[in-house]
Structure 1
């Protein structure tokens, strides 16, 4: 999940793996391995990643970023990532009445 969040934050900023690697003084292969979950990221590099991507370690590690209004939306999106189509349909049936409620 950490690698997926790093990739998403990087893509949201419009930054390539190469640019992120250059700004951290690491190899492109290292960034690729982190994003694919093949290698863990140490705290120093996590701090550098967060600085370049202008995001918080809280979001990268836990999927929430309470410093933005979008933190719950991001958390829900992350939870849906690995769900089957059938499960997503069930979730949609549950939340649709809540979303449509005018009260």
Structure 2
């Protein structure tokens, strides 16, 4: 399980453009520990760290179907949209409509 979380952490961290050292500092862990967590070389994680990671990246629940970067990003976006839906349903509708129209436009172009 930690190996899947680690891969997901690394993907989401790099997608946000956050360096390993700065993210480790933000999480108050050593860069070596974070690297080991991301590569599945450690088999322990403190609950408090898991909570901080959840708050940053919405890691859980881990979707077993998410096997590549696109799946991870879509799942993460879906989770964010669900949270946003509670406070700004019109904003969610705008974002989804823009995404759908953009996809259709790009598909027609190719």
After TM superposition, the score normalised by the length of structure 2 is 0.51
Q: C-alpha displacement at 1:25, in angstroms?
A: 1.1
The answer to whether the 8 A contact 2:5-2:59 is kept is: no
Partner in structure 1 of residue 50 of structure 2? 46
**Which residue, 10, 16, 20 being the options, matches 1:17?**
20
Q: Does 1:57 align with 2:69?
A: no
State the alpha-carbon separation in 2 of the partners of residues 58 and 35 from structure 1: 15
Structure 1: unaligned runs, 5 residues or longer: 70-103
Q: Does 1:37 align with 2:40?
A: yes
Q: C-alpha displacement at 1:17, in angstroms?
A: 0.8
Q: C-alpha displacement at 1:68, in angstroms?
A: 4.5
Structure 2: unaligned runs, 5 residues or longer: 67-74, 82-110
After TM superposition, the score normalised by the length of structure 1 is 0.54
Higher share of residues assigned helix: 2
After superposition, the CA RMSD in angstroms is 2.2
